[in-house]
Amino acid sequence: MTSKIKPAKGAAYARIMGVGGYRPTRVVPNEEILKHIDSSDEWIRSRSGIATRHWAGPDETVAAMSVEAAGKAIADAGITPEQVGAVVVSTVSHFKQTPAIATEIAHKIGAGKPAAFDISAGCAGFGYGLTLAKGMITDGSAEYVLVIGVERLSDLTDLEDRATAFLFGDGAGAVVVGPGKEPAIGPTVWGSEGDKAETIKQTFGWDVYRRTPVPGGDGPDARVALDEIRYPAITQEGQAVFRWAVFEMAKVAQQALDAAGVSPEDLDVFIPHQANMRIIDSMVKTLKLPESVTVARDVETTGNTSAASIPLAMERLLATGQAKSGDTALVIGFGAGLVYAATVVTLP
């Protein structure tokens, strides 16, 4: 039977055309974190490599930060907001179940009537969004796609949790993906390991606030007063996550290199998820990256911003001249789920 459906008429290839970032104005040093936990600046730096992070103020909402980053990416790409055909936002810190924050962002940047939706893929969210954007470009459903990773993780941080209080930061990173004349976004190696989902999680769901506030009681069905419930936070099993990231994600990164037909010697830049400096350094060693490869270590001053970490690190490398347009970069994100996504890209 012959199909009546016309073939797609998209671009042969897709590429990242522009990048933008936004970091909140408030810089939070480790000393401020130490007011709430029994630790030291030396311990935090040795365990994570983090010295400071940015926390958003009341006006630096998920939407506001995204609009700032998006505007920079659109300008860097040399297009107008009206040309954006789709807006994809990866976040876990937009607290309204519906509508998607992407629709608000699309309106505020003046994008017209693009497709707009949110995705939840934790720290791998940027890689997921980039892959979806590539598919839209080559399928022909959009000419230009805006991909945003944005988080206000300070809203989900338990300042008394010694294992996580120092990790998280806020910010937004964005890229514009458009048509290319040659391969500039490689095949994505992505996946999930749901059997390890409990290693990084939110302490409890929002539905807990629907419980009837009855004080006291015993057993699994006991109700508690709302004022006894702490605000939800992100928690993790640090050692288990560290081992998984170090040993398993280096394999995924190598698979992405192989899928793109690129060797470590061909790389100019390595941009891993900015979770932990020790993880980054271990991956560099395992992959046997040459000293000539520039490695993003934005985590030192930005902390872990989940879906925003890769585009923020990319933007900083380009802005500071540590990387340049046309460089070949390996990017990999990994986190809650556990999920991951890795690919090789040409920098804008």
**Residues tagged active-site:** 123, 273, 304
Write the DSSP string, 82-124. Answer: GG--EEEEE-S----SSS-HHHHHHHHTT--S-EEEEE--GGG
Q: Is 335 helix (H, G, I), strand (E, B) or coil?
A: strand
User: Residue holding tokens 């290319």?
Assistant: 180
Q: Do residues 312 and 21 lie in contact, with contact meaning Cβ atoms separated by under 8 Å?
A: yes
Q: Phi/psi of residue 300, each to 5°?
A: -60, -40
Using CA atoms, how far residue 28 sits from 68, 168, 302, in Å, is 21, 11, 9
Q: 16: Cβ–Cβ under 8 A, 6 or more apart, which residues?
A: 130, 175, 176, 177, 184, 185, 345, 346, 347, 348
Closest CA to 310 of 93, 128, 85, 68: 128
Selection from 246, 236, 286, 279 nearest residue 264 by Cα = 286
Q: How far is CA 346 from CA 13, 74, 132, 226, 291, in A?
A: 12, 17, 17, 50, 19
Close Cβ partners of 257 (under 8 Å, ≥ 6 residues apart): 263, 264, 267, 287, 330, 344
∠ CA 279-280-281, nearest 5°, is: 95
Q: What Cα–Cα distance (Å) separates residue 290 from each residue in 94, 265, 267, 283, 314?
A: 39, 6, 9, 12, 19
Strands (E), the chain: 13-22, 26-29, 52-55, 86-90, 115-119, 145-152, 170-180, 189-192, 200-202, 234-236, 269-272, 294-295, 328-335, 339-346
